[in-house]
Amino acid sequence: MKRGLATLILALLTALPAHAASCSWSAKMEEDEGGSVMMASVCGGPKGDAHLMLACFGKPVLSYDLGAAGGQLEPGISGSFTFKAGAKSLTKKLELEAMYNNFTTELSGPADPLLSLLRGKGDVTVSADKYGEATFPLKGSGAAIGKVLAECGKGSGGEAD
C-alpha cells in the first residue's frame, strides 16, 4: 500500500466532523507526508457517520468508512461491495486498511466505471451482505471528484515507498 495513504486517511479522519455536518460532497487540500493531496469526501448512512473518500496516489483511491455500523473489523479482510445509483450498479472488491478501519480500492483511472457511477445524480447506495448498506448523496460529486482527478499525475503527495 502506498505510504501516504495511511497518513492521509488519518488526516482526513481528524477533519471529518466538518464534513459530517453537511453530508454533501466537498474537495479540499489535505496535508500528507509527501505534501498536499486533494481529497473529495461525503458522509452518509443512517447516522451520517459513514464516509466515502477519494484521493489520488498516482491513481485514484477510494476509501469507504462504514461508520459505527462497521465496529472493529478483523485485519486482513476484504469484501465485495455493490455500488448502486439509479439503474446502474457495479460490484467492487475492497480491502480493509486495518489501521483506520476503512475499506479501500485503487481505481483504474479517471474513466473507471465506479467514478462514472459516483459522478451521477441522485444517491448512491453502497451495500455488502456482511456489512449492510449506506446511502450517500451524489449532489456535487462531479465537481469534487473532478478536482481530485485534476491532481492525478501531477506528482503531489502519496509517493510510493
Question: For every one of its 161 residues, what pLDDT tens digit does the chain have, with 9 covering 90 and above?
Answer: 444 444 344 344 444 444 344 689 999 988 766 678 899 999 999 899 999 999 988 889 999 999 987 777 888 899 999 999 999 999 999 999 877 789 999 999 999 999 999 999 999 999 999 999 999 999 999 999 999 999 886 654 443 33
Chain centroid to Cα 141, Å, comes to: 12
CA proximity to 23, closest of 138, 108, 100: 138
The domains of the chain are located at 3-151
Q: Is the pTM of this model over 0.85?
A: no
pLDDT score for 66: 94
pLDDT score for 4: 44
The CATH homologous superfamily to which domain 3-151 belongs is Invasion associated locus B (IalB) protein (2.60.40.1880)
Bridge-based pairing of strands 59-65 and 102-106 is antiparallel
